[in-house]
Amino acid sequence: MIANHKGEIPFVILIIPFLLGITAGLTFIFSLHYFNWLTIILLFFSLIFIILNINYARFGLYKVRWVGGLLMTFILFLTGWVSIIRYNELNNEQHFYKTPAQYLIVKINNEPTIKNGLVRFTSIVEQQVNNGKSVNTTGTLLIAIKDTSANKLYYGDELLIPSRYNVVEPPYNPAEFNYKRYLANQNIYHQAFLYPKQFIVLNRNAGNSIVAYSLRLRQRLVEKLKQNMHDTSAIAVASTLILGYKADLSNDILQAYSKTGTIHILSVSGGHVAIIYLLLNLAFGFLGRYRYGKVFKALIIISLIWYYSLLTGFSPAVCRAAVMISLIIIGKTYSRYINTLNILAISAFFLLLYNPFFITDVGFQLSYLAVVGLIVFQPVVYKWVIFKNKWADKLWALCSVSIAAQVITFPLSAFYFHQFPVYFLVSNLFITVPILIIMYTGLFYLLIPQLPFVSAALGYVLEKSILIMNKVLTLIEYSPFASIGKLWLTTAEYILAYIIIICLFYFLFDRKTWLLKVSLLLVLLLGVSISAKRINTLRSDSITFLNLKKHQGLVFKTGDKAVILSDIKADDKNYQYSIQPYLDSCKIADTALYNLKQNINAAFLMKNKNLIQFKNKKVLLFNKDIESKQLVHKLKVDYLYITGNPHTTVNELNKNYDYAMLVIDGSNTNKLVNDLETQAQLMQIKYQTIKRNNSLMISSN
């Protein structure tokens, strides 16, 4: 529904400078030092705006209406900037990291998850304890506990823990997931790892009573699903689809939904709320026949939708949908027309005012973009083809919804997830019916009491529907050319992609030829950018010494081929997390993985025991195997790679080797690393320590 006039969508126009202000706060200035100045400027512009509005007629501002618009733009821009600085926990003088302490008193503020023997949760640091005296403090701390007794911890529990925590580490390898930034976007900058008997429970159930009730009720409902369902994957999908409980989802299921373009259904959001709204609207439709029936109907539906939001933990996507639908219901109840885009902007504005960091959440971004696509682009796509047959028309309507949502979210999905599901239309059309069956059957099953035959029948239908859906999606996932991977877009490229999409759709809507010309020109620029990256990759040769902490890893790349030397296997999570993203970002098509003891005879790389010849570069792997060997003549190499914690000194190395750089990896002890660094500095030898530092990438051509 595109507005006929900007007066229909005032919040859409007003939210733009507010979003730009939040973006500016995230990008440029993120310090409390500027907060006071920005606040003073904001108050100054606000005061001028109020004075001008009071004296609107006196100053004849109707002749220069743009002045008010300009002031409002500045005010909203500064509001966004100030809000992001104010919300950042590190700018709080009472943050726990600013004062040393012996112990911390923390309160668990989310639902703990148990995985691989670790209990993980986030907590609010309430107090610092020194010599028996406590001081109020603030801040969020991520905690992991390796202790089976921690399995009983729950939301709202207060703990006494040692004040030993670390700053979250940044990514050390190229294209590695930036976990530090991910947590920072949630206002988390520190983490603690605790072992048995390193925590004491001081209090139970001290959290928000509404949230605690919500989480415990959701747990009971998850347990109820398990009573009449037996397949663990089906239970995990049902818990996620209906209740937003994702703790039991396996990576295989996530991958199947991701590669088929249906990952959105595993995030409880607007679509799920819309399904519930349709059911409630049908169930309480009879109230419309009574005098005050419409009002009661609206109150009941809005209350139940917000109760459902409570069950999902008030996720941003569900809150956005709940706000939107609530406003639409109110508008329909009182026969008022409300532009859907305006409602969308209102919900976004208030959510971001509550927590400006929501803008960095991928789910938040994709959810809003998908809805914008449905509102703005779906009508355009739907008009491309006209079907006279009623059922063909309905099928095309569903196709247009999927196309609009996929097109508008594609650049952002490629930017974050680096893949495009080719068969998204088929998979999204297929899941339409199963999702309706799963949602309605699941909700009915959870709402009614446990009845011997009825509950068993509903559980059977629910489980089989999910298993059939999973099986078909798995078949689509493994179909030829099911997805296009290794899509690594730069920020400029994905912004360019969005400009192209907007220009093309606006051309289809308005038929202005200049929009088509601009689109074609931008497509050419995007193609040139992507092609230039590809050509540069094919022409480049490089050696990369990876930071894999206690493991070893080297990548020798030439064009789109690579040889990887590492002591970890390809199916290891460390390989998938730290090595594979780098290979994908370089669009490596041909890889060969070897351990460090294997000899290699490849077209572009030779390895004989510890000596590696790659193009015109030589690398020696110096480990315990050769630590005591003495050479008659010095061996000349380009890089001396110290790994496996050998017993050596720089003096001993210099007796046997002539090298351009010393490279020290993370598998060495801190003592050896510190000794070698000190010795190299005294002798003015060029060195690079991979431990605690970024990986080292060297171009060999």
The helix (H) or strand (E) run that includes residue 211 is helix 209-228
Q: Is the pLDDT of residue 173 over 90?
A: yes
Q: Report the range of poorest mean pLDDT among 42-51, 80-89, 131-140, 320-329.
A: 320-329
pLDDT at 62: 63
In this prediction, residue 656 carries a pLDDT of: 92
Looking at CATH, the fold of the domain delimited by 96-207 is given as: OB fold (Dihydrolipoamide Acetyltransferase, E2P) (2.40.50)
Question: Can you give 127-152 as a three-state secondary structure string?
Answer: EEEECCEEEECECEEEEEECCHHHHH
Q: Are strands 617-622 and 635-642 parallel, antiparallel or unpaired?
A: parallel
Q: Is the pLDDT of residue 629 over 70?
A: yes
Rg of the chain over CA atoms, in angstroms?
30
Q: Which two tokens stand for residue 481?
A: 């050319």
pLDDT mean over 681-685: 93
3-class secondary structure, 287: helix
Strand partners, 543: 556, 698
How confident is the model at residue 69, as a pLDDT? 81
pLDDT band at 413 (very low <50, low <70, confident <90, very high): confident
User: What are the pLDDT digits (tens) for 363-407?
Assistant: 788 878 888 888 888 888 888 888 888 888 888 888 888 888 888
According to the model, what pLDDT value does residue 5 have? Answer: 63
Banded pLDDT at 342 (limits 50, 70, 90)? confident
Residue 549, pLDDT score: 85
Give me 558's structure tokens: 């030439």
Overall average pLDDT of the 659-672 stretch: 92
What confidence score (pLDDT) does residue 32 get?
A: 66
Across residues 107-120, what is the average pLDDT? 89
Residue 651, pLDDT score: 92
Residues in the chain: 701
In the predicted structure, residue 175 carries a pLDDT above the cut 70: yes
The answer on pLDDT for 80 being more than 60 is: yes
DSSP alpha helix (H) spans, 540-689 = 573-574, 580-585, 650-656, 670-682
Q: What's the pLDDT at 292? A: 80
Residue 182's H or E segment, with its range, is: helix 179-184
User: Distance between CA 591 and CA 561 in Å, rounded?
Assistant: 6
Would the pLDDT of 276 be above 80? Answer: yes
Question: Whole-prediction pTM value?
Answer: 0.86
User: Averaged over 151-173, what is the pLDDT?
Assistant: 93
CA distances from 44 to 40, 52, 87, 93 (A): 6, 12, 22, 26
Reference 119, options 192, 228, 66; nearest CA is 192
| No. of helices (H) and no. of strands (E), the chain | 22, 23
Residue 451 has pLDDT above 80, yes or no: yes
- pLDDT at residue 4, as a whole number: 63
Residue 312 has pLDDT above 60, yes or no: yes
Which range, of 52-56, 149-153, 604-608, averages the lowest pLDDT?
A: 52-56
Round to whole Å and give the CA distance between 435 and 470.
Answer: 11
Q: What is the pLDDT of residue 164?
A: 92
Least confident of 148-152, 238-242, 321-325: 321-325
Buried b (16+ CB within 10 A) or exposed e, 241-273: bbbbbeebbeeebeebbbbbbbbbbbbbbbbbb
The pLDDT of residue 692: 79
**Mean pLDDT score, 604-620:** 93
Based on the number of CB atoms within 10 Å of its own CB, is 443 exposed (0-12), middle (13-18) or buried (19 or more)? middle
The larger pLDDT score, comparing residue 494 to residue 31, is at 494
Q: Chain-wide mean pLDDT for the chain?
A: 87
Query: What is the model's pLDDT at position 398?
Result: 85
CA neighbours closer than 13 Å in the CB half-sphere of residue 72 = 13
- The helix/strand/coil state of 507 is helix
DSSP state of 229: -
pLDDT digits (tens, 9 = 90+) for 235-273: 999 988 888 888 777 878 888 888 888 877 777 677 778
Q: Nearest Cα to 200, choosing from 105, 126, 111, 122?
A: 105
